[in-house]
Structure 1
């Protein structure tokens, strides 16, 4: 349920393709929330005093409408006690622009700093200079005799794996795209908070992906906190510290990497709060009583970092509990019934709950399910069991 927030508390605007997670964390921090996203899910509105639809008016695709976004932000900027704007997935390409735009709330996060990690030429040159491992990268189409076999093509302005395709399946003249050789390893991430060129790692998580049509690695959830070998964790933390020193990233960010035994290779930086923050707020509620949005605000507005051991919050706050989240995708297109929406809204495992009447096409996200367990194996079992239960609910309580 929504935490009680004083009507006189400061406001914060949170925006992205889905703003639910940020809205929930900000409400936990005791803030009045203005949410801007394309879904308007029931639990987003539960945690936000105001919600603005920033999706395309025709509902075509999972994309943000620029005019609607700026109209909503200009409205939000006129509200009293507005601290500023925090963005998440989907608004990365506009971060620098939003940080400089007049008439919108103050940008709280990475504006120009994000350019150094969003531009692949600059980012991979930075990694090479710092001696940080990464899969082989090319800015030209892979040449014969192997050609595109075993290569991915990535767009730096995408998110959630929707920007990654097999190199042989796309037009090789995609603007600003780059090629990356497929590498071995388990997909992982580390959430960190940065300020004044220093960083603290919140924790490590295993990333879940699914294949969806031509997209081989669509984000489908995460498990954490994951335990890495001490030496490997220290080297990942050192890599993050080197990147932050060179880029001056601020606030919550995450790094995606592959873990192959004791070795790792960096894939990319997400220069904004990521969905894995929900894992750490779940397993360490006492460590983050103001939510991780509180840590983001402390870092961005006051230059303050959490006090932790060895540069990693997981080492300061060990937990016997593990958390997982899994995105449920629609097996077929359907319209959300009142019964389905109410059943999901009453289910403590369900988040991002769609409203009655919403149309969800095949392959689109339906909701996010969250779980806790004392071990990773039990967590995986619970996720499979609950995923099957949700699919059955779709089958029985919604209409095609």
Structure 2
């Protein structure tokens, strides 16, 4: 019988974290990739809404059908723009994570900007319609994730979008835990984009742990603690930052377990999903931030996007991959194929290994699928 429920657009990383924490997960997501099914004690493929979104009615119906009332529910990606659904899930009981009120405060760019200003946390300016003359801005969709929605613009082009001041620098993510009153910084990772013609800021991957200047680490840890106390934020979360010389800005806050589970849910850190459940219950660990250590090494996780359309005919996929599509899956240009991992003494080496593996994997997939139907 599953003892934890995981729901997300793609829940494979959460399912792996549940297994490392000694839990038997019921998994609900849109993809049902082969390795997700292997990790799940029970797998339910959710109905899609508007292409790549969770269908709220289907999710609620499947939970009523399959989920034990006593099992904690952990949400991954796909709920940032659906605070009303999160409220309905919280009303069912045993939501191990943030409710709709926290999402509304942290994922509304104007509410977040006002909150950050009141707490003295550096952040870029945001604009509802038009950027002031001389201010470089990016247009973003409210509540979206993955970077595919971000484009350079000086004017908003659609409903549900806004402009954020563009700040040059190094893209970094801070992984942390919060208990509604305080926060514990766990580690920093570096992120990169995998741009294509239509999505210049599409998410490419991350590698870590990395080092940041000591004063930045200290200031970020203090800022996250203030945010937790001001919002009631709980559980595993991440903050996207831009580091510029000796300064930093908080760009976005993701109030849920995210992509860097793939990097950090391994020794020397204890099982992160167990820490998440403890933090949601008001217990923070006595841990110091993780720093680079050649002995412990580093890990990178990158998304392989299909450079061209093809049919998956390569099996089995290497063990350094995840989110593996089933044989016969038809993939279109630009669609995510799978996640590819790399390891090394530091984040830079780990990313280099990952990139070499990614090139070799695409070459093998292309050759295996060369006889696929057009």
TM-score of the two chains, using structure 2 as the length reference: 0.92
Give the counterpart of 1:221 among 192, 200, 205. Answer: 205
Give the counterpart of 1:293 among 261, 264, 273. Answer: 273
Tell me the equivalent position of 1:159. 145
The reply on whether 1:308 has 2:287 as its aligned counterpart is yes
Kept after mapping to 2: 8 A contact 1:336/1:355: yes
Displacement of 1:322 in angstroms is 0.7
For residues 197-216 of structure 1, the aligned pairs below 5 Å read 197-216=181-200
CA distance in 2, matches of 1:101, 1:28: 25
Tell me the equivalent position of 1:280. 264
Shift of the 96–65 alpha-carbon distance from structure 1 to 2, 3 Å rule, reads closer
Tell me the equivalent position of 1:100. 88
Deviations 1:1-25 (A, max 9, x none): xxxxxx5xx5111111110000111
Deviations 1:140-171 (A, max 9, x none): 2125x55xx83211122101113322225x8x
How many residues in Structure 1 have an aligned counterpart in Structure 2?
A: 370
CA distance in 2, matches of 1:384, 1:317: 21
Tell me the equivalent position of 2:311. 335
Tell me the equivalent position of 2:34. 42
Tell me the equivalent position of 1:324. 300
Kept after mapping to 2: 8 A contact 1:53/1:68: no
Shift of the 123–377 alpha-carbon distance from structure 1 to 2, 3 Å rule, reads closer
CA distance in 2, matches of 1:84, 1:115: 22
Partner of 2:201, secondary structure, is: strand
Give the counterpart of 2:119 among 114, 130, 147. Answer: 130
Deviations 1:23-71 (A, max 9, x none): 11112212111111111111100110221122428xx733323332222
CA distance in 2, matches of 1:359, 1:69: 25
Aligned-residue Cα RMSD (Å) equals: 2.2
Displacement of 1:305 in angstroms is 0.8
Kept after mapping to 2: 8 A contact 1:96/1:114: no
Displacement of 1:73 in angstroms is 1.8
Give the counterpart of 1:384 among 336, 342, 355. Answer: 355
Kept after mapping to 2: 8 A contact 1:76/1:104: no
The reply on whether 1:53 has 2:50 as its aligned counterpart is no
CA distance in 2, matches of 1:14, 1:245: 26
Displacement of 1:176 in angstroms is 3.5
Deviations 1:105-136 (A, max 9, x none): 63210012222111111110111112211122
Partner of 1:304, secondary structure, is: coil
The reply on whether 1:30 has 2:22 as its aligned counterpart is yes
CA distance in 1, matches of 2:260, 2:21: 17
Tell me the equivalent position of 1:350. 321
Tell me the equivalent position of 2:77. 89
CA distance in 2, matches of 1:89, 1:196: 21
